[in-house]
Every structure is written in structure tokens, then in C-alpha cells.
Amino acid sequence: EAPLLQMVAAERVPQARPGHRPAPAPAGGGLLLRRRVRLLGRGGRGPRLAGLRRELRDLAAHGPRSAAYSDPEYYIANFFNVYVDSQLHSSFDTSSWNRTGGSWRVKLFSGLDPSVTHEVAIFKNTEPQFNSKYVVPNYVTVHAFTGSSGMTLAQPSKPPRWKVEFLGDSITAGYCNSAQPCSTSSDCTPANQHFNESWPALICSALGAECHVEAWSGYGMAENCCGGKTLMSSVWLRTLGSLQALDLMLPHQTPPENLWDFRRWVPDAVVINLGTNDAVSWPHVIPAYNMTYLALLTVAARAYGPSTHFFLACGPMTSKYCPQVDWVMEKARAQVPGLKISFLNQRYYLNGSYGPACGYHPSVRVDLAMAKGAVPVIRRALRRKS
């Protein structure tokens, strides 16, 4: 029997039973979750274990059945790739799942040589809730991995040496990067958002780094481009990106049980590119942008410690916010002695020399160029740290 992944609808919210503890992995084996995850029954602050790939900040593992919570009208499908021994083996998405809830089994792979150990990675290609102004729970809950009676979970490979975190918007999320045909008028959908070919994913691959990515299209540091009240400066604080308060008293904020514990995972480098969406409201939003960015940066620097190197990027869709990024860097250096911080110039990648724009966003060709430009810069900082 081929191994199966049992999942529940993406719009369900985990309701942990009091005193419930997740069932342990089989003896001698392990499961790794390489993104922010919420383990059911652990108060929402479980560790990022490490084996599933991509923005698993929206994937909860080893939990009980969930209760329906989201409005089906706002449900957006999630898309996944399955890699076996680093090779793309299959893909699946949640577009055909019942929006009112339910449980599904997903075939991951079959026909592998049972005499050798294989590494399987599930990679989430889409952002928490694709290009949505109104945020509702849109994540996926993993209940179990099943297979033939002889299947065992081997010890995972040694984790990567480096850890890198990315915080951004559609540019970081790979929005529309695989649209065909690729032009400024491309139809942008979850199906053509290929985060596996985005510049952050390519950087992680080139560095051999373990990465966390918090990126959402349309969202800004202090103001969004196109409506909605959820900001990336708030999403950064979350374990599950699409889980926020829906009550009238604290709308758009993060429930305490969904706050991420920054002690769990300390990156060696942090890359931030936020400002493109704020810049739509230039200049009146500049004071709020400056103060919010500076506050986030100082909180991150103090949470992660003096060894983390911060890269503040600007571009390539607009350079309006570059002077404000410089301002934030200058003020942060004054407020946090010994802060390691650098400017990452991404302004010129959409000038036509590096590839086309899809829906005005970086195409996979541009993503590749952006990654090639950033890898040496980040690698030098990591080597200096060592």
C-alpha cells in the first residue's frame, strides 16, 4: 500500500483537548517540520520539528480532529509538491476538498525501493491565504502518515548548518511567478504561485540552509496596497499565519495561543523586504511605516541576539521606500549596539535585463537572478559569523 497523508480541510481550526498530548513517532524514527507549525495539544507553541518543507507555518501536525471554524466563502486552495530524495515526485492541492470541512487521504508516493531509506519532503507552494483581504483560518491539519505494515520512520538527516528567515510580501512569496503566458497582464492564481522557484527558496537551496518564510501578497508593514486590516508586522508574530482573532473586540489581531515563541528557532540571518505595498499610500503612511519597521526590527534583534545578521531589502517593483529603509537601518544601529545589519539592493531586477514580469511581479527567471545576486552577500555574512 502506498503511504498516505491523512489531512483535514484547510479551513478548520485545531481544538486541543485538555491534557491531550500528541502520539509519539514510532520508535527509532522521526518526523521533521521545517517551518512554523502548531502542534495540537501544546498550547500552540510547539517546536518547529524539522521534514516537511516550505511555509508550514500554516500546517499543524499530529493533532486530533478539528472543529469547523472558517467561512467557506473565503477559502483559498493550498498547493503542495512532494519530493522524494530531492526529486519532484507528485503534486496535490486542496481545491476539490469540501469547504465545509472533512477528512481526506492524499497519496504521496509509491513504487520505491524498500531496501533503502528515502527522504520525503512535502513543500507548500502557496501563501497562507492567496491574495486575500479578509483573513480566515486557511491552513491544513495533518493527522497521520500511513503505509504498509513494514513501513518505518528512519531518523532524519542532520539538520542544515545555517538558518535563514524571510519576511516579505508577494515579491517574497513568489506571487504569479510561473504564470503562462508571462506578461504584465498575466492571470495570477494560486496554481501559478510556485514558491519552490522563488528567490528565497533558491537562496535556501544554494546555501543549504533551513529557512522560515513569512510572506503574504498585498500586505505591508504599516498599510496594505489594496485593503484589509491584517499587516505583515502582525503576521510575523504568529505561528499560523491565517489564524487571527475574529471577534469585534480585537479584530485582525493574534490570539495568545497563536503567538510564535521566538526562542524556539533563532536564525543566523533575517531578510526583510516590506514596503512595496505601503508605498501605494506614500507619503502619508511614511511615519507609521518608519515607526512600525523600527519597532519590529528592534524586537527581532533583541529576541534573536547579537549573532543574527539582518538584511533589509528594497525593490524591485518600486524604490519609493528605499530612503525609509536607510532611515530604519540608521536608527536601529543607534538603538541596538552591535547590531549586524546590511542593505540588500533588489531595485533593478525588473528593468527587463533579468527576465519578464508576470502580473508586474518577478517571474521565475527574475527570481533566479535575485537569488544569484543575494547568495554571495548572505553567504559572506554567515561565514563571518562562523
Map out the domains of the chain as residue ranges. 1-159, 163-385
163-385: CATH topology: Rossmann fold (3.40.50)
79 residue type, one letter: F
What distance in Å separates the CA atoms of residue 315 and residue 345, rounded to the nearest whole number?
7
Distances (CA, A) of 27 to 48, 121, 155: 20, 20, 10
According to the model, what pLDDT value does residue 140 have?
86
According to the model, what pLDDT value does residue 342 have?
98
According to the model, what pLDDT value does residue 64 have?
27
According to the model, what pLDDT value does residue 249 have?
54
What secondary structure letter does DSSP report for 84?
A: E
Question: Beta strands 357-358 and 361-362: pairing type?
Answer: antiparallel
99 residue type, one letter: R
Q: For the chain, what is the total number of helices (H) and then of strands (E)?
A: 6, 17
What distance in Å separates the CA atoms of residue 56 and residue 124, rounded to the nearest whole number?
7
pTM of the model: 0.85
Q: What is the pLDDT along the chain (386 residues), one digit of tens a residue?
A: 334 444 433 322 222 333 333 333 333 345 777 777 766 643 333 332 222 332 223 332 222 223 234 567 788 999 999 999 999 999 999 988 876 667 888 999 888 888 889 999 999 999 999 999 888 888 888 888 888 888 888 887 788 999 999 999 999 999 999 999 999 999 999 999 999 999 999 999 999 999 999 999 999 999 999 999 999 999 999 999 998 876 555 667 888 889 999 999 999 999 999 999 999 999 999 999 999 999 999 999 999 999 999 999 999 999 999 999 999 999 999 999 999 999 999 999 999 999 999 999 999 999 999 999 999 999 999 999 87
What distance in Å separates the CA atoms of residue 25 and residue 345, rounded to the nearest whole number?
44
